[in-house]
């Protein structure tokens, strides 16, 4: 079975598990159609003329984890930022880990993308900003079609978030042909400040493919945001971080550390 055929059959399985009447699922259908048309980016495309992705997609990937893997705090402690107090959204093989995370809805939202996509409370923000920055290329369309989980961060105006927000995706390698599709949305209001650290960390030598998209929107006036994205060991990590600022005063620091064997 070709990778594209695997995508189509997996999407049918996805529709049996999600609410197909939502705005998010309408976007999923549109993204799937876009992926069918565009496929995996080729070297003839300007952004990929020096990078061949062919060898990454010749494996029989599973797009959904077969089971949840138990991870304890001690297993991830070395990878957290200097062990300081922070809001944390932790995922293990693409599945949210509630006992390792600290989210909040006090004055601002640091929570799950699945909640934002499926709860009408968040519909105004989702419909205004979700998938608005993402380019219509094959990889981003693939992410939009299958993204079910990630971090949703929404901060109103005149708020200084006192603790950093850490979003970490751990891959255990228990499923060596697992492909995950994390999707993050960050919306920050007028005169607000926040520090965000995004990390993708492999806990084994097994190779895992991650196709990640992060959209960051600043409503107006200056603020700081720091995105530190780190990918360690033998995880194939395809990542796009998109930042929009009304007045172009965002200060964004992106740090990528990536080892990929092709």
Using a pLDDT cut of 70, give the percent of the chain over it. Answer: 82
Report how far residue 262's alpha carbon sits from residue 247's, in angstroms, rounded to the nearest whole number. Answer: 40
DSSP track, 11-67: HHHHHTTS-TTSHHHHHHHHHHHHHHHH-S--TTSGGGTT---GGGGSS--BSS-SS
| pLDDT band, residue 9 (cuts 50/70/90) | confident
Mean pLDDT to the nearest integer, 166-174:
88
Strand order of the β-sheet with 251-255 is: 95-96, 87-92, 165-171, 196-202, 224-232, 251-255
| pLDDT band, residue 238 (cuts 50/70/90) | low
What distances in angstroms separate CA 25 from CA 62, 108, 114, 216, one per listed residue? 21, 25, 12, 21
| pLDDT band, residue 219 (cuts 50/70/90) | low
Residue 220 pLDDT > 90: no
pLDDT at 206: 76
Residue ranges covered by each domain of the chain: 3-255
Residue 102 pLDDT > 70: yes
Using a pLDDT cut of 90, give the percent of the chain over it. Answer: 32
Higher model confidence: residue 251 or residue 213?
A: 213
Mean pLDDT to the nearest integer, 33-51:
85
Mean pLDDT to the nearest integer, 202-213:
82
Report how far residue 150's alpha carbon sits from residue 225's, in angstroms, rounded to the nearest whole number. Answer: 18
């Amino acid at each position: 079975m070709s990778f594209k055929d695997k995508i189509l059959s997996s999407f049918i399985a996805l529709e049996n598990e999600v609410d197909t009447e939502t705005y998010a699922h309408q976007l999923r259908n549109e993204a799937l159609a876009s992926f069918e048309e565009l496929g995996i980016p080729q070297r003839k495309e300007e952004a990929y003329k020096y990078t061949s992705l062919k060898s990454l997609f010749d494996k029989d990937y599973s797009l959904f984890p077969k089971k949840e893997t138990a991870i304890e705090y001690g297993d991830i402690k070395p990878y957290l930022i200097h062990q300081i107090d922070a809001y944390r959204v932790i995922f293990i093989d693409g599945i949210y880990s509630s006992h390792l995370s600290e989210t909040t809805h006090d004055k601002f939202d640091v929570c799950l993308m699945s909640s934002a996509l499926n709860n009408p409370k968040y519909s105004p923000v989702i419909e205004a900003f979700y998938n608005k920055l993402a380019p219509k290329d094959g990889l981003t369309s693939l992410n939009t079609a299958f993204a079910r989980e990630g971090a949703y961060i929404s901060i109103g105006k005149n708020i200084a978030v006192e603790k950093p927000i850490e979003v970490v995706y751990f891959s255990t390698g228990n499923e060596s042909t697992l492909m995950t599709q994390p999707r993050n949305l960050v919306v920050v209001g007028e005169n607000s400040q926040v520090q965000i650290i995004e990390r993708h960390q492999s806990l084994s030598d097994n190779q895992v493919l991650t196709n990640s998209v992060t959209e960051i929107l600043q409503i107006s006036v200056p603020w700081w945001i720091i995105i530190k994205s780190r990918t360690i060991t033998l995880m194939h990590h395809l990542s796009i971080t998109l930042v929009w600022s009304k007045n172009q005063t965002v200060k964004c620091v992106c740090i990528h550390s990536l080892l990929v064997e092709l």
